Amino acid sequence: MTQPVEAIYRRESRRVLATLIRLLGDFDLAEEALHEAFFVALQRWSQEGVPDNPRAWLVSTGRFKAIDRLRRQARFTPLLQEQANALEAADWSDEDVEDDRLRLIFTCCHPALAADAQAALTLREICDLTTEEIARAFLATPATIAQRIVRAKGKIREAKIPYQVPSRDELPERLDSVLRVIYLVFNEGYSASMGADMTREDLTREAIRLGRLLTELLPEPEVMGLLALMLLHESRRPARTTASGELVLLDEQDRSLWDVSMIGEGCALVEHALGTRRFGPYCLQAAIAAVHAEASSAGETDWPQIVGLYDVLLRMMPSAVIELNRAVALAMRDGPLAGLQQVEGILARGELLDYHLAHSARGEFYRQLGRVEEARVAYERALALAQQAPERRFIEKRLAGL
């Protein structure tokens, strides 16, 4: 792609796709229309220049390409001619385009779809992650993820799942899946599953945008909690890597680089959500992030409060990953041996054996205890599992330091 078209693809392609799905009522047809629209743009814009409203141009071009495709296929399937005529006769406006991605999320998270398919479909269609990236996030094979996506699209088509935001009465039962998917999108942006860069700001920004939309639509405590959690994590992004892209641990970050406005907004949301006394796991995670954000230095962090919040979170939502995070907080409160014992217990149960951060934490605790050979084994295992370049370089430095 030429540079202007490539930049517009990165910025607009998912919005264009969401609108095309609404207009065409079919995922596969919309995806084909999207690619054809950008192919035409590549040819024309280099000669005619980029239009004033490239998103509307791409939607309009994709729509007409889809109609043409249906008419060509109508020679073999007459019903497609009726579909093409209906699409051509229908009016469309780009006034509601901003809501299309939210509509698409609720479609992808419909309860008729399996939970793993909901997340895979959303990450693929809304965020343009590859099947390989999604597979990494789910610890699955690309073939498995591809099958989930195909089955989900087929289910939406066969069950005629509506492309709309549910009514207010329906929203609560649909909310858990939507929150989980938005957080998965954020996590992939906050700590990319693989590649040269540690973060993908486009994904974190999009997840926060979706979180804001959802908060406006349904200002429930857990919705506010998720938005707060994402804002508080994102506030630290400028300090998480050096200018050359090297990983910087939380206790070594330059806190003057943290985004004060995001921290203020996130902490206010946490306070409001907790005040309802109807909080859940996202609110508690946001509360933990708020304790970190409010500490002026690493040494002033209230680790006893963080451990206590993790205790409540674990009772509410048992999870080996949360247990690992608690082990790190426990080590900061009680010393590396306490943290090591917790991590060894998790691994002994057969959990997180393929999770590089568990082995990295284990290596760090051994390093702090001066048990060099055990630290080396743990770090080597973490290095074998890590896929992200900055994390790999960080582990390599730890190994060299031993």
Amino acid 307: pLDDT: 98
Nearest to residue 398, comparing CAs of 374, 377, 376? 376
Q: How far is residue 160's CA from residue 95's CA, in Å, rounded to a whole number?
A: 25
**pTM higher than 0.95:** no
Amino acid 174: pLDDT: 81
Q: How far is residue 249's CA from residue 190's CA, in Å, rounded to a whole number?
A: 14
Q: How far is residue 9's CA from residue 34's CA, in Å, rounded to a whole number?
A: 10
Please report where in the chains the tokens 């309009």 appear, as a residue: 60
Please report where in the chains the tokens 């999207």 appear, as a residue: 34
Are the CB atoms for 8 and 50 separated by under 8 Å?
Answer: yes
Q: How far is residue 360's CA from residue 386's CA, in Å, rounded to a whole number?
A: 10
Task: Give the domain ranges of the chain.
Answer: 1-92, 302-402
Domain 302-402 has CATH 3.40.1410.10: no
Mind listing the pLDDT tens digit for each residue in 82-128? 665 666 566 555 555 557 877 888 899 888 898 889 988 988 888 78
Please report where in the chains the tokens 């989900």 appear, as a residue: 152
Please return the burial class of 122, using the count of CB atoms within 10 Å of its CB with bins 0-12, 13-18 and 19+: buried
Nearest to residue 15, comparing CAs of 2, 30, 3? 30
Chain CA centroid to CA 62, Å: 27
Q: How far is residue 279's CA from residue 323's CA, in Å, rounded to a whole number?
A: 20
Nearest to residue 12, comparing CAs of 67, 94, 90? 94
Provide the 8-state DSSP code for 369. T
At position 290, the amino acid (one-letter code) is A
Amino acid 102: pLDDT: 79
Chain CA centroid to CA 134, Å: 10
Amino acid 84: pLDDT: 58
Amino acid 154: pLDDT: 92
Amino acid 273: pLDDT: 95
Q: Name the stretches of the chain with pLDDT < 70.
A: 1-2, 74-98, 137, 139, 192-198
